[in-house]
């Protein structure tokens, strides 16, 4: 299979965390899919913690001449950090991330890379998906909630198979548990993101149980992405709206209490409604002030924040390019 994206080197990043398969067998599967592209490639394994057996297996593969770079972290930092560490070691213009366990068929890696001809990032969508009704309900609820709070629609953000151009991670810095929302963050940044159907590996079976802590963390992550996508540059719209509604509710309650006191002889002392209305007024002012401070911070750093991407610049031949976005191949200019 030949890739239409040109002769660019591919860097495959494989973060090794709590779940992983046999290293040699999985590497052989991935290698077959990547080698079919007929492009130079390298594999970068990032061990998110101490995994002596995995490290020994990687050393054996490297000793046999395989193009593998192994990076071992001192302790668990999370998959997002592992991906950023791998990106720092990557030299390719095309970055591919693959899970350390059998999730997709290795032969479908080429589909993701080929999709970069018309997109900046391609993420895998495992079809048909396996799993019982509880797993399907959980996936539907997760993606439905995410679609409700963000303007994008994806179906399988849990798939660790992704391919993207180098400039995507040059513009986005991951931390915490944001790796699963990389496509959402890339779309917000102005990159073109697409979903590609890939075959799910028969060995992709999660036999564990998600606890309340996992669901709580996922919900908080969605809230974080909600703010990053919608209100990073407009904090006053969120805090100001809530603050204004809270203030108006408290003010209306105060007015009603004053009317009762002046015209109906109702005493104000020892009334919980008076305390509640006062708290609502103060809370509303504080929320509005918080949004205003956020706007001032954004205004101060506005020049450092870029949430757009330039596809190309068309200009006169004798006029120099004044700004660039991405690699030289992605900034083509034509004489006009």
- pLDDT higher than 60, residue 285: yes
What is the C-alpha to C-alpha distance for residues 170 and 289, in angstroms, rounded to an integer? 34
Mean pLDDT of 214-236: 76
Q: Which CATH architecture has domain 10-230?
A: Alpha-Beta Complex (3.90)
Q: Is 225 exposed, middle or buried (0-12, 13-18, 19+ CB in 10 A)?
A: buried
Q: Are 100 and 55 in contact (CB under 8 A)?
A: no
- What HEC string does 164-198 produce? EEHHHHHHCCCCCCHHHHHHHHHHHCCCCEEEEEE
Among 118-132, 241-255, 258-272, 316-330, the range scoring the smallest mean pLDDT is 316-330
Q: What is the model's pLDDT at position 206? A: 64
- pLDDT higher than 90, residue 109: yes
Say whether pTM exceeds 0.85. no
Whole-angstrom Cα Rg for the chain:
26
Structure-token pair, residue 248: 């108006």
User: 277 preceded by cis ω (within 30°)?
Assistant: no
No. of H helices and E strands in the chain? 10, 7
Structure-token pair, residue 275: 């305390």
Q: What is the model's pLDDT at position 3? A: 47
Mean pLDDT of 24-34: 93
Mean pLDDT of 96-101: 93
Q: How confident is the model at residue 61 (pLDDT cuts 50, 70, 90)?
A: very high
Structure-token pair, residue 130: 């396996």
Q: How confident is the model at residue 70 (pLDDT cuts 50, 70, 90)?
A: very high
- What rounded mean pLDDT belongs to the chain? 82
- pLDDT higher than 60, residue 45: yes
- pLDDT higher than 80, residue 188: yes
Q: What is the model's pLDDT at position 32? A: 93
Mean pLDDT of 9-14: 94
Q: How confident is the model at residue 274 (pLDDT cuts 50, 70, 90)?
A: confident
pLDDT digits (tens, 9 = 90+) for 292-325: 887 787 667 656 656 666 667 666 666 665 555 4
């Amino acid at each position: 299979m030949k890739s239409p994206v040109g002769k660019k080197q591919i860097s495959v990043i494989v973060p090794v965390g709590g779940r992983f398969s046999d290293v040699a067998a999985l590497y052989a599967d991935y290698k077959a899919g990547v080698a079919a592209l007929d492009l130079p490639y390298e594999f970068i394994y990032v061990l998110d913690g101490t995994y002596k057996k995995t490290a020994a297996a990687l050393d054996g593969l490297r000793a046999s001449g395989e193009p593998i770079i192994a990076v071992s972290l001192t302790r668990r930092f999370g998959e997002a950090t592992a991906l950023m560490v791998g990106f720092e070691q990557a030299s390719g213009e095309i970055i591919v991330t693959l899970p350390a366990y059998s999730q997709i068929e290795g032969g479908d890696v080429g589909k993701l890379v080929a999709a970069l001809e018309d997109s900046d990032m391609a993420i895998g969508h495992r079809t048909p998906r396996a799993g019982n009704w509880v797993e399907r309900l959980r996936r539907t609820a997760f993606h439905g909630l995410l679609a409700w709070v963000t303007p994008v629609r994806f179906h399988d953000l849990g798939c660790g198979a992704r391919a993207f151009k180098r400039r995507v991670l040059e513009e986005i810095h991951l931390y915490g548990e944001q790796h699963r929302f990389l496509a959402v963050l890339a779309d917000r940044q102005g990159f073109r993101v697409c979903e590609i159907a890939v075959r799910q590996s028969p060995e992709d079976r999660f036999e564990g149980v998600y606890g309340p802590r996992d669901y709580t963390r996922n919900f908080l992550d969605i809230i974080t992405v909600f703010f990053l996508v919608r209100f990073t540059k407009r904090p006053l719209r969120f805090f100001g709206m809530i603050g204004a509604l809270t203030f108006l509710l408290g003010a209306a309650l105060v007015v009603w209490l004053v009317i009762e006191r002046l015209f109906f002889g109702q005493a104000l002392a020892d009334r919980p409604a008076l305390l509640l209305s006062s708290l609502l007024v103060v809370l509303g002012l504080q929320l509005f002030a918080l949004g205003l401070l956020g706007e001032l911070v954004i205004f101060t750093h506005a020049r450092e924040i870029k949430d757009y991407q330039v596809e190309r610049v068309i200009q006169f031949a004798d006029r120099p390019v004044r700004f660039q976005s991405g690699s030289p191949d992605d900034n083509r200019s034509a004489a006009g």
